[in-house]
Structure 1
Amino acid sequence: MKKVFATVALAFIAGFIQAQEYKLAKSTGRLEIKEVNHVEIEGYSGSEIVFTSRNGKKDDDERAKGLRSISSMGLEDNTGIGLSVVEKGGTIEVQQLKKMDGPDILIKVPKGVVVSYTHTSPYGDEIEFKNFEGEIEVSTVHNGVVLTNTTGPMTIKTVHGDIDASLSPNIKNPVSIVSVHGHVDVAFPTTIKANLKLGTVYGEIFVDPDFKLEIEKSGNMIKYSDNVSGKLNGGGLDINLSSTHNNVYLRKK
């Protein structure tokens, strides 16, 4: 009897997990994520984009059986996890149906896919990219951004959020990481060859002394206070780190 119960329980758990995933056979192209409030993006070596809900299964609405969830924008939950995923040519558009709150989503993305994330509402969490080797474009108003072992190329912009990044040693050109009101805190190896720009208007710039930065001069003068341009290890990649109203930190990894 116990064995039968265990088998049924395992089958139930497997079905539960299966119900929380949505897969799209795509290893190239562009993934555009718009106004999804709670999301983490992780790179992997597979050939599918995998969307996984981390909320757990939502309660069934008996009155909604046989119907599909839609939003005022005309979006349909065609994934079963609160997302609309629509492919248009080589672009996959991802949006959530709820304006506030919404599902907590992990998206596993093959490295050949370009990821674009845009968010403007005040309802979202920070967006995190982890172990991602492809191109990243991020534009947010309120969200913070966390980059862990990312390669790029990357263009990261936020208005009110902080940006914390620990970049891969295999960074690809170009890299631009910019916040208006939040701090920009970036770590990468001291061996990277780069043309480096560090900028702030009302904050300060802090650099680990192990970075041997060859400062660009203007005549016989060197200006350190708000904008620093120089070369690391003779120059190479274009890396721009900037915060208008907060501090910029460059750390060794």
Structure 2
Amino acid sequence: MKKLLIVAIVLIPCFTKAQEYKVAQNTGRLEIQLGKVIVEGYSGNEIIFTSMYENTSKDTRAEGLRAINGLGIEDNTGLGVNVTRNANTVIVKQLKKVEAPEIKIKVPKGVIVSFQYESQYGGVVKLRNMENEIEVSARYNSIEMENVTGPMIVKTIYGHVEAKFANSIKSPVSVVSVYGYVDVSLPVETRANLRLSSSYGEILVSPDLKLEVNREGMDNNSGRIQGKLGGGGDLNMDLSSNYGKIYLRKKN
């Protein structure tokens, strides 16, 4: 019986509570400079940074010390990132050049979210359940958005962009990838003034969206389409990919 009990104890996995770092702020800006990240909107008054990495081993030699990089930026959160505040702007940066930390950030709805990352080691950026204004300027990152409203200006050079919009979309919306594809899902009842452009790729649109194309001044080989969804409205939407395809589909 004792042997069985010992074996059972050994087989129990070792879980550690996810580390968090909180900043009291529900307005202003959050500037993210991380290789990859998950950002979620919520109704709260704090920006909450959470480590998604469960470290089961403890480095006893590191007790009382902080990680630091060549620019003098130190880990002041215990999550492998540096968080600072400048007036009404919160800035988060990673320390390592190559390996980005596994971080999730919960952001109050009133905070503008700005993501900027230029390194070739950029990964996937996920934005979920957000009514926030979104700004993205990336080089290698792919951007995946779900249940977002805008307004937004999103641009990546080498990554792709996927966006599934909520029922209420705020203008303006600009989604651009230079070399990757752009895949956007819209509610069928969306009313928008639409511009689609791809210099070397195809533009594919779901018939369910009933796009009314404005043919005036257009050319068969221009790679540009202007039109209206639902007769048009206050929403201006611009989707562009120079070398990739554009997919515009009905949201399921």
TM-score under structure 1 normalisation? 0.89
> Partners in 2 of 1:67 and 1:105 — Cα distance?
21
Q: Aligned residue for 1:139? A: 137
> Partners in 1 of 2:154 and 2:59 — Cα distance?
40
The answer to whether the aligner puts 1:212 opposite 2:249 as a matched pair is no
> Partners in 1 of 2:83 and 2:178 — Cα distance?
31
Structure 1 residue runs of 5 or longer lacking an equivalent are: none
Q: Aligned residue for 2:175? A: 177
Helix, strand or coil for the counterpart of 2:25? coil
Amino acid aligned to 2:53: N
Let me know the Cα RMSD of the aligned residues: 2.0
Q: Aligned residue for 1:33? A: 32
Q: Which of 38, 43, 46 is residue 48 of structure 1 equivalent to?
A: 46
Q: Which of 81, 85, 89 is residue 91 of structure 1 equivalent to?
A: 89
Moved more, 142-151 or 58-67: 58-67
Q: Aligned residue for 1:193? A: 191
Q: Aligned residue for 1:109? A: 107
> Partners in 1 of 2:237 and 2:221 — Cα distance?
17
Q: Which residues of 2 match residues 231-250 of structure 1 at below 5 A?
A: 231-236=228-233, 237-250=235-248
Give how far 1:46 is off. 1.4
TM-score under structure 2 normalisation? 0.89
> Partners in 2 of 1:22 and 1:169 — Cα distance?
32
Amino acid aligned to 1:125: G
State the percentage of identical aligned residues. Answer: 50
Helix, strand or coil for the counterpart of 2:209? coil
Asked whether the equivalents of residues 101 and 124 of structure 1 are also in contact (C-alpha less than 8 Å), the reply is no
Query: When the two structures are aligned, how many residues end up with a matched partner?
Result: 240
Amino acid aligned to 1:17: K
Asked whether the equivalents of residues 204 and 225 of structure 1 are also in contact (C-alpha less than 8 Å), the reply is no
